[in-house]
């Protein structure tokens, strides 16, 4: 009996030491799988917004991800106004080009060029003014709003800060924070 | 302390220290196999031999492969294919075996389903086998990353994105798995580690479990006969080999097993030498490019059926259907409510269930390969519904199955 309780104690003592060790090593293993600080720190991209042409998709790169930059032509802005009031039921003035970024007098669609379904890169068709994802057939309009499932939401907008005619990706400016608040995009 | 005597021979010396005679008896000469089986019972050995080929060819590939995003593509497509003597042989054996092993695994699985070899004490064989299927799938996926071609990169992107769990947006988890925002050096390195060490270790352990799970219930037979292995083996050992319903694992059964393996190897090396291209996607001969998705992304053929279950639904529903497809086979021994462990042909409605499931999975596989448009999209959608529906009706049709008296 005495032996038993002594063995029981030894078993529990070992269990406690092993438990602490197991938790500690699991934490160390988890941390070893984390992205490296150098990976985390890299990643501000500055774009000169005066260099883009109407309805011509340019793919930039930010944190290894493709970033679509599409300068909106006059015609595209008019269709956008029509569509947004149809989709939301709100007046054009109220919704005022929320997905677009205004720099100078121009409007730009700037989105992460990865399908929100499973991350393929959609292709742009300048005639039809829409994106098509070849992987599972998802479609977006020229502002990155989703028009055919399976994508659950429009193309995500990367964090940005407007700096004159320049756009800094990776920094969160007031315009971006407003988009987050309004639920226009998710944080990426 | 055990009593040791001066050894009369090397065999005796080993026997006193390792009990080699007892081991041999338990594991082979008195491990009894029924006589009434057919060539489908050799598929386990065919898989084991294919795994051996993967291991040996993998060792030679490992000597020249470079797990580095700048070097990986050339180390495979230039160094191994052009410079290393017979490097092409190891690569083609590795690629063909990775594809063919899944064909044999599916035959092995459907053999088990057809003959009811997953119940009445054989549940652990089925479950350990399904764990092996998962481990082989992970091994195949991680290996597919290594040449760092376009399909490697984009399959890696799409599959790791599944871990964001759709509407839950667990992007942090996806980045944690990758070690970066997108598949990159950290990603390639960790999948290299998984492919050459961690998953193969798990597979070896699981193979041990799978074989161990087989030892006590023994293998099933093609007539659903309940064999008294004790009585039949006694008959065999007393010399009545004609009337005994069992034979020894070695050398009796293994000789027939290896006959099938021999025929398989002729077919296998025919593929390696003349038709290896079926296992080599042309798109993967373009180096990985994170800024350009291939126009049509599809997995290797053996994942197409579950991919097609994911595809026709919206994100969340698709992920739920996909998760369902991944785990549901594990539950087969418990969803089949009938105690009959006999061939499906003698099991009433289950006969139709078996063939419907097999054909539905072939349709899903075919639809997963074609672009998701129009008619194909619709066929895939209904085939996915049929797959889910079949699993839902399984407990009901098997519950009312007549008990087989044999």
Whole-number Å distance between alpha carbons of A157 and A100:
9
Identify the CATH number of the domain in which residue A108 sits.
Answer: 2.102.10.10
Å between B96 CA and nearest CA of chain A: 26
Q: A118–B176: do the CB atoms touch at under 8 Å?
A: no
B236 and B177 both lie in a single domain: yes
B98 and B245 both lie in a single domain: yes
Q: B179–A149: do the CB atoms touch at under 8 Å?
A: no
* B11 within domain boundaries: no
Nearest CB among A33, A64, A186 relative to B176 is that of A33
Last residue of a domain, one of B294, B321, B342: B294
* A94 within domain boundaries: yes
A90 and A135 both lie in a single domain: yes
Domain around B358: 298-406
Whether the Cβ atoms of residue A136 and residue A118 lie closer than 8 Å to each other = yes
ipTM: 0.76
* B188 within domain boundaries: yes
Q: Tell me which chain A residue has its CA closest to the CA of residue B173.
A: A34
Q: Extract the tokens encoding B325.
A: 């497809």
Domain around A130: 40-181
Q: B290–A65: do the CB atoms touch at under 8 Å?
A: yes
Instruction: Kindly report the pTM of this predicted structure.
Output: 0.84
Nearest CB among B297, B311, B315 relative to A120 is that of B297
B222 and B129 both lie in a single domain: yes
- Cβ neighbours for B206, distance < 8 A, ≥ 6 positions apart: B128, B131, B132, B135
B140 and B185 both lie in a single domain: yes
Å between A26 CA and nearest CA of chain B: 15
Q: Does A120 touch chain B (CB under 8 A)?
A: yes
- Cβ neighbours for B30, distance < 8 A, ≥ 6 positions apart: B233, B237, B248
* A19 within domain boundaries: yes
> Which residues of B are less than 8 Å from A119 in CB distance?
157-158, 161
A104 and A20 both lie in a single domain: no
B277 and B377 both lie in a single domain: no
Identify the CATH number of the domain in which residue B170 sits.
Answer: 1.20.810.10
Q: How confident is the model at residue A76 (pLDDT cuts 50, 70, 90)?
A: confident
Q: Does A26 touch chain B (CB under 8 A)?
A: no
Q: Does A112 touch chain B (CB under 8 A)?
A: no
A156 and A85 both lie in a single domain: yes
**Residue-wise pLDDT tens for chain B (406 aa)?**
688 999 999 999 999 999 999 999 999 999 999 999 999 999 999 999 999 999 999 999 999 999 999 999 999 999 999 999 999 999 999 999 999 999 999 999 999 999 999 999 999 999 999 999 999 999 999 999 999 999 999 999 888 988 887 777 787 899 899 998 889 999 999 999 999 999 999 999 999 999 999 999 999 999 989 999 999 999 999 999 999 999 999 989 999 999 999 999 999 999 999 999 999 999 999 999 887 878 778 889 999 999 899 888 877 888 899 889 989 999 999 999 999 899 999 998 999 999 999 999 999 999 988 877 788 889 999 999 999 999 999 999 999 888 776 5
Q: Tell me which chain A residue has its CA closest to the CA of residue B318.
A: A150
A118 and A140 both lie in a single domain: yes
* B7 within domain boundaries: no
Whole-number Å distance between alpha carbons of B255 and B384:
42
Report, in this order, helix, strand and coil percent for chain A, each rounded to 5. Answer: 35, 25, 40
Q: A34–B179: do the CB atoms touch at under 8 Å?
A: yes
């Amino acid at each position: 009996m005495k032996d038993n309780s002594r063995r029981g104690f030894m078993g529990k003592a070992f269990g406690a030491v092993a438990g602490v060790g197991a938790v500690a090593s699991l934490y160390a293993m988890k941390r070893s799988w984390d992205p490296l600080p150098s990976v985390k720190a890299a990643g501000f991209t500055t774009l000169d917004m005066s260099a883009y042409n109407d309805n011509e998709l340019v793919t930039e790169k930010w944190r290894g991800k493709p970033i679509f930059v599409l300068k909106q032509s006059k015609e595209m802005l008019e269709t956008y106004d029509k569509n947004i009031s149809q989709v939301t039921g709100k007046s054009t003035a109220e919704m005022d080009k929320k997905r677009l970024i205004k720099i100078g007098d121009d409007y730009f669609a700037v989105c992460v060029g990865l399908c929100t379904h499973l991350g393929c890169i959609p292709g742009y068709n300048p005639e039809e003014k829409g994106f098509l994802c070849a992987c599972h057939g998802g479609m977006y309009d020229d502002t990155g709003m989703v028009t055919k499932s399976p994508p659950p939401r429009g193309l995500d907008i990367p964090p940005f800060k407007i700096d004159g005619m320049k756009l800094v990706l990776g920094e969160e400016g007031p315009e971006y924070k407003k988009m987050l608040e309004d639920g226009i995009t998710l944080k990426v | 302390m055990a009593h040791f005597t001066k050894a009369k021979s090397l065999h005796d010396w080993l026997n006193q220290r390792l009990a080699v005679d007892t081991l041999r008896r338990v594991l082979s000469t008195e491990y009894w196999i029924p006589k009434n089986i057919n060539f489908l019972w050799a598929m386990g050995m065919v898989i084991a031999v294919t795994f051996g080929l993967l291991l040996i060819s993998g060792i030679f590939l490992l000597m020249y492969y470079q797990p580095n995003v700048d070097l990986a593509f050339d180390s495979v497509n230039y160094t191994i294919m052009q410079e290393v003597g017979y490097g092409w042989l190891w690569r083609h054996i590795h690629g063909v075996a990775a594809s063919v092993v899944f064909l044999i695994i599916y035959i092995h699985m459907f053999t088990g389903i057809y003959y009811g070899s997953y119940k009445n004490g054989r549940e652990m064989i089925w479950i350990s086998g399904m764990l092996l299927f998962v481990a082989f799938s992970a091994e195949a996926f991680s290996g597919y990353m290594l040449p760092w071609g376009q399909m490697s990169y984009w399959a890696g992107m799409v599959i790791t994105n599944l871990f964001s769990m759709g509407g839950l947006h667990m992007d942090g988890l996806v980045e944690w798995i990758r070690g970066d925002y997108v598949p990159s050096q950290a990603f390639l390195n960790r999948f290299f580690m998984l492919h050459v060490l961690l998953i193969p270790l798990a597979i070896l352990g699981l193979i041990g479990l799978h074989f161990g799970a087989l030892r006590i219930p023994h293998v099933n037979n093609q007539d659903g006969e309940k064999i008294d292995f004790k009585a039949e083996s006694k008959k065999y050992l007393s010399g009545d080999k004609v009337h005994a319903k069992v034979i020894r694992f070695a050398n009796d059964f293994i000789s027939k097993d290896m006959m099938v393996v021999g025929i398989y190897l002729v077919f296998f090396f025919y593929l390696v030498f003349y038709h290896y291209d079926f296992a080599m996607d042309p798109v993967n001969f373009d180096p990985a490019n994170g800024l350009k998705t291939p126009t049509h992304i599809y997995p290797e053929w053996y994942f197409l059926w579950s991919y097609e279950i994911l595809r026709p639904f919206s994100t969340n529903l698709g992920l739920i259907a996909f998760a369902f497809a991944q785990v549901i086979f594990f539950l087969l021994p418990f969803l089949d409510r009938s105690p009959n462990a006999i061939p499906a042909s003698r099991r009433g409605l289950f006969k139709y269930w078996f063939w419907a499931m097999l054909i539905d999975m072939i349709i899903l596989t075919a639809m997963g390969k074609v672009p998701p448009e129009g008619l194909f999209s619709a066929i895939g959608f209904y085939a996915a519904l049929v797959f889910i529906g079949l699993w839902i009706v399984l407990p009901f049709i098997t519950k009312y199955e007549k008990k087989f008296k044999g």
